[in-house]
Amino acid sequence: MASARLPVPYSLRKSGVGDEAFVCSAYLAGVSELFRHATPATMHTYGRRWAIEQLDAGHVWIAYDTEQIWYNYGFVIFETPVVHWVYVKSNYWGLGIGRALFLKSKATIASHMSGIVAYGNLKGICARYGVIYSPWSIDASTVSDA
């Protein structure tokens, strides 16, 4: 008999002091899996620098436990209208945390860095959330109205 997943008490907040290690380590782990063809040193250097730039620019929201505010469940990196990365710890998948983070981004475009290409059902995911997959939308400045 499968056990039911209990909801967890969470809320969303802008990233702040102390979130760098959580965001950078999870982002780099995911990026290294997606871009296995790149050299680890290059991906680590570029990926860490990019993640820190996003944190500094205020483009990261954190899902955290409302009862233990130091405990983070996941995060989203975005530049509206482009979502770059959504991460939720695997123990908390299926509880709506990733969806809440994604909706917070108000994204309509997923960049090549979003990771959605890794999940196989690219068309289904894009249709479900009303998102256009645009691999060339590296940041909001590269989004055109065309």
Domains of the chain: 10-141 (3.40.630.30)
Who's near 18: CB < 8 A, 6+ residues apart? none
The answer to whether the CB of 64 falls within 8 A of the CB of 91 is no
Residue 145 pLDDT grade (very low, low, confident, very high; cuts 50, 70, 90): very low
Structure tokens at 85: 């990365």
The answer to whether the CB of 80 falls within 8 A of the CB of 108 is no
Q: Residue 144: is its pLDDT beyond 60?
A: no
The rounded distance, in Å, linking the Cα atoms of 141 and 59 is: 14
User: Per-residue pLDDT tens for 42-58?
Assistant: 667 777 888 889 999 99
